[in-house]
Amino acid sequence: METHRRGFLRTSTLGAIGALASQGQQPQRILIQPAAGESFKRRLAARELLNGLSRLAVAAEVRLAGPDARPAAGELAIALRIDAGQFRNAEAYAVSAQPGQVLIAAASEQALLYAVFDFLERQGVFFGIDGPSYPLEASGGPALPPPQQPWTASPRFAVRGLLPWPDFLNCITVYNEEDFRAYFEAMLRMRFNTFGMHVYTGARQWAESYLSFEFAGVGHLSFLDTSATNRWGYLPQRTSTFGMGAAQFYDGEVFGSDATRLARDPWEQAEQGRRLLRRAFTYAERLGLRTGIGFEPYSVPDEIVRALPPEVRVADLNARNPRVDPDSRAARDLLETRLGQLLEAYPGVDHVWLWEDEGMNWDSRKTGIPLSVTPFLQAHDFLRRHASKKRLVVAGWGGVARHFADFHKRLPRDVIFSCLSDSLGWDPVHEVFGQLEDRERWPIPWLEDDPGMWFPQLLVHRFESDMNRAQRFGCQGLIGIHWRHRIVDPTAAFQSRFSWDEKLTPAAYYRAYARTQAAGDRAARLAGALTDSDRNLKAISTFAGQVKDGHAVTHGFSGDYSEAFTFWSRSEPEARVIASHQEAAAALRAIAGEAASDTEKERLEYLTRQVEMCVPYFEAWGLAHRLHKLLQGAAKSKKDGRAEEARATILKDGVPLWLELAPRVRRALLDFQRVVATRNDLGQLASMHNKFVRLALVRLRLSMKEYLDELPRETESLFEEVMRPDAGAPPRLFLPTRPTVLGDGEKLRLLIVAPGPAQVTGVALHTRARGAAEWVATPARLLGRRTWQATLGPFAPEALAVEYYVSAAAAGRRLVAPPDAPKQAYAVTVA
pLDDT digits (tens, 9 = 90+) for 212-251: 999 999 999 988 999 999 999 999 999 999 999 999 999 9
Q: Are residues 703 and 815 in the same domain?
A: no
Do residues 390 and 284 both lie within one domain?
A: yes
Q: How far apart are CA 500 and CA 416, in angstroms?
A: 22
Domain match, 683 and 703 both: yes
Question: Residue 774: is it exposed, middle or buried by C-beta count within 10 angstroms (0-12/13-18/19+)?
Answer: exposed
245 and 328 assigned to the same domain = yes
- Asked whether residue 239 falls in the same domain as residue 253, the answer is yes
- Total domain count for the chain? 4
Domain carrying residue 631: 534-722
Whether 39 is covered by a domain: the verdict is: yes
Pairwise CA distance, residues 552 & 327, whole Å = 36
Whether 191 maps to a domain, the answer reads yes
Same domain as 379, residue 242: yes
In a domain, residue 115? The reply is yes
**Last residue in a domain, options 97, 126, 153:** 153
In a domain, 516, yes or no: no
Q: Which residue has the higher pLDDT, 60 or 686?
A: 686
pLDDT in tens, 531-558: 999 999 998 889 988 899 889 999 899 9
> What are the Cα distances from residue 320, in Å, to 58, 204, 330, 399?
61, 12, 19, 15
- 698-707 confidence digits (pLDDT tens): 999 999 999 9
Answer for the pair 514, 201: CB distance below 8 angstroms, yes or no: no
Over the stretch 159-212, which tens digit does the pLDDT of each residue have?
999 999 999 999 999 999 999 999 999 999 999 999 999 999 988 888 999 999
Does 821 map to a domain? yes
**Domain harbouring 368, CATH code:** 3.20.20.80
First to last CA, the chain: 32
Dump pLDDT digits (tens) for 465-517.
999 999 999 999 999 999 999 999 999 999 999 999 999 999 999 999 999 99
384-392 contacts at long range (C-beta below 8 A, 24 or more positions apart): 386/339, 386/340, 386/343, 387/343, 387/352, 390/343, 390/349, 390/350, 390/351, 390/352, 391/350, 391/351, 391/352, 391/415, 391/416, 392/351, 392/352, 392/354, 392/416
> Do 429 and 539 share a domain, yes or no?
no
Question: 564 and 462 in one domain?
Answer: no
| Higher-confidence position of 357 and 184 | 184
Is residue 565 domain-resident? yes
Domain end among 667, 693, 722: 722
pLDDT of residue 416: 98
- Residues 120, 166, single domain; the answer is no
Answer whether residue 730 is part of any domain.
no
Beta bridge partners of 767: 776, 804
Judged against a pLDDT cut of 70, whether residue 426 lies above it is answered with yes
Statement: residue 133 has pLDDT above 70: yes
Residue 382 in domain:
yes
If asked whether residues 116 and 195 sit together in one domain, one would say no
Mean pLDDT of the chain: 93
172 phi/psi in degrees, rounded to 5: -65, -10
Q: What gap in Å lies between CA 64 and CA 829, rounded to an integer?
A: 13
Closest to 426 in 3D by CA, of 534, 533, 506, 544: 544
**Per-residue b or e along 426-437, where b marks 16 or more CB atoms closer than 10 Å to that residue's CB:** bbbbbebbeebe
Query: Parallel, antiparallel, or unpaired: how do β-strands 477-482 and 543-548 relate?
Result: unpaired
Please say which residue of 102, 129, 153 terminates a domain: 153
Same domain for 438 and 331: yes
Residue 745's CATH number: 2.60.40.10
110 with 176, same domain?
no
